[in-house]
Amino acid sequence: MSRLRAFGHFWWDFVVGDDWRAAAGVILAIGATAALVAGGVDAWWLMPVAVAAVLWLSLRRAAT
């Protein structure tokens, strides 16, 4: 069990790292893009804007 936890912890740390909110923001942004596309809007512009916001919020948290 502890090996399984260590394996899960390794992958969490590997992909998500020390700011889970940034990863959650990425998932939300992808979901919002898919929802807008489903609604007929070609929302290619959303991810760059969302990444800028997610990155800046994450940096501000780290720098305080």
Distance CA 12, CA 6 (A): 10
* Burial (0-12, 13-18, 19+ Cβ within 10 Å), 54: buried
Distance CA 55, CA 22 (A): 7
For residue 48, the minimal CB distance to another protein (Å) is 6
Query: Which residues in this chain contact another protein in the complex, by CB under 8 A?
Result: 14-19, 22-23, 26-27, 29-30, 33-34, 36-38, 42-44, 46-48, 51-52, 54-56, 58-59, 62-63
Based on CB atoms, which residue is closest to another protein, 1 or 27?
27
For residue 8, the minimal CB distance to another protein (Å) is 15
For residue 1, the minimal CB distance to another protein (Å) is 21
Distance CA 64, CA 59 (A): 9
